[in-house]
Structure 1
């Protein structure tokens, strides 16, 4: 699935606090420029170790990378700070930009790594290098407190004739259709908050999105009479839809990518450590990538 949910999440207006934005903001772009790597890219890891910092591109999206209480927070800053510190690179120097400008900015040399939970797709793999998956995004349902229809996944929604809310242009609409939910029972919503509001108002019986996003939505609406059910992995055409995301590097930066992957494997191979690092942002052991899920296979399509 080429659609990235990162395009559907709200973006922070300002990036600040303990990390300094060191590069001008990049204008939103729909065009991804050429893939030529800067000269000497193969020595990038050694260069970054020597200078002591890495320039990182973020999209300002909660819970992936955003401002909280005056500092940069979220899954990507936390996980990647841990990895780069282990590599001997002690400082992240972030650039805040629109999601659509991340790959062009990377290829133009404005930063060294994209850390935005970007979905790994064959189209993107043709332009850039991805790390191994740093998380997967199983789908979940948000329901009213008490789960009055006894729902568990999209197939149960079809069986119970439940009305299912999905975001405009999001992949959950296709997941619902594959599970047998009729078109007339799928309600399209503009943004995440609309889903929670429609649920509380009784206009829908369930709101389908990634478990990560739904848990964050419940957190920022503390006290709302809703419940996020256990995530599940939808199947479309016999293929499990994990929706994995990873860090992104320029072509030619294999040494840096490979070193990053080695440290990432130590974290994803230890679910307790993984949850300890980023659990407060809604990531659980269910978001730990399966060992069999490899970027090479995802890039091959």
Structure 2
């Protein structure tokens, strides 16, 4: 896959041990059991979901990918996945909100059936779970104070300016910053997107590095900031396009394959895709190319 090597959004290397950081919203969610969606080899996973009438999904509460607004789940993943699962005969999503680093461990432990968080497809994650084909691609950007006082446009200019850059804890953007030659003492880890915006406004960091689509949404509620034009960071000379997808437990390949069939119908129709996801900032530029395949991404 020469055109799209090493594409990733979040770079967390998943733990296979205890599940950490799992947050359940009281009153909104039903209790999760350890019962798997299917048998050990995945046979009948989709049939079971159809019979029970719901699929258990996990979100990381990161706008615009999947987040809670009041008592309503919104964003790219809930919207797209509701459409797909309804087409598969499963009418309800039962959501659990999780800290980012608890998503795959929770999936492995049987807490839910699908991770629906726009998670990057990386070889490390492919060793622990199975991914759908890409749902989107998203370049990277920098959030800065209004007026962009340091005049940064990308990571090369950030390095040249000697600024301090914030990244999400455990996210791939940290490796982008290091790969651009920014020293570790100039890279600050933050727990939530709003923490990054607050740090920019408060002068604790000069720029916050995240996907452009996330930052544009974040800037709407942080008017003292602005977002640079999106750019493609590089690692080892390879451009990073940042594709995300749904994540399934190993052994549930039948469920993943059925999901992919419906996903293909949507990403093959740009007007349908934009109609579904446009309100969250996803347009034709976020459509994954037909040549971008999960099997290639898993190889690295």
TM > 0.5 fold call = yes
Partner of 2:176: 175
Q: Secondary structure at the match of 2:136?
A: coil
2-side partners of 1:94 and 1:153: how far apart? 36
Q: Is the 8 A contact 2:12 2:101 kept in 1?
A: no
Partner of 1:212: 213
Deviations 1:27-80 (A, max 9, x none): xxxxxxxx9x72472222233334432222334444333321322222221110
Query: How far did residue 261 of structure 1 move?
Result: 0.9
Query: How far did residue 277 of structure 1 move?
Result: 2.1
2-side partners of 1:187 and 1:251: how far apart? 35
Cα distance 1:42–1:229, how it changes in 2: closer, same or farther (>3 A)?
Answer: same
Q: Secondary structure at the match of 1:115?
A: strand
2-side partners of 1:198 and 1:253: how far apart? 41
**Which sections of structure 1, spanning at least 5 residues, go unmatched?**
27-34
Superposition pairs for residues 175-254 of structure 1, below 5 Å?
Answer: 175-181=176-182, 186-191=186-191, 192-201=193-202, 204-221=205-222, 224-254=223-253
Deviations 1:141-183 (A, max 9, x none): 1233344555432223345x26242225544344234435566
Count, aligned residues = 284
TM-score, scaled to structure 2: 0.78
Cα distance 1:164–1:272, how it changes in 2: closer, same or farther (>3 A)?
Answer: farther
Partner of 2:25: 14
Partner of 1:142: 143
Q: Is the 8 A contact 2:177 2:187 kept in 1?
A: no
Partner of 1:31: none
1-side partners of 2:271 and 2:23: how far apart? 29
Cα distance 1:117–1:48, how it changes in 2: closer, same or farther (>3 A)?
Answer: same
Q: Secondary structure at the match of 1:38?
A: coil
Looking at both structures, which has the greater relative contact order when contacts are Cα pairs under 8 Å and sequence separation is at least 6? 2
Partner of 1:30: none
Cα distance 1:198–1:252, how it changes in 2: closer, same or farther (>3 A)?
Answer: closer
Partner of 2:291: 292
Q: Is the 8 A contact 2:58 2:98 kept in 1?
A: yes
Cα distance 1:38–1:284, how it changes in 2: closer, same or farther (>3 A)?
Answer: same
Q: Secondary structure at the match of 1:92?
A: strand
2-side partners of 1:151 and 1:226: how far apart? 13
Cα distance 1:294–1:15, how it changes in 2: closer, same or farther (>3 A)?
Answer: farther
Partner of 1:68: 69
TM-score, scaled to structure 1: 0.77
1-side partners of 2:106 and 2:197: how far apart? 34
1-side partners of 2:258 and 2:268: how far apart? 16
**Which sections of structure 2, spanning at least 5 residues, go unmatched?**
1-7, 15-20
Query: How far did residue 214 of structure 1 move?
Result: 1.3
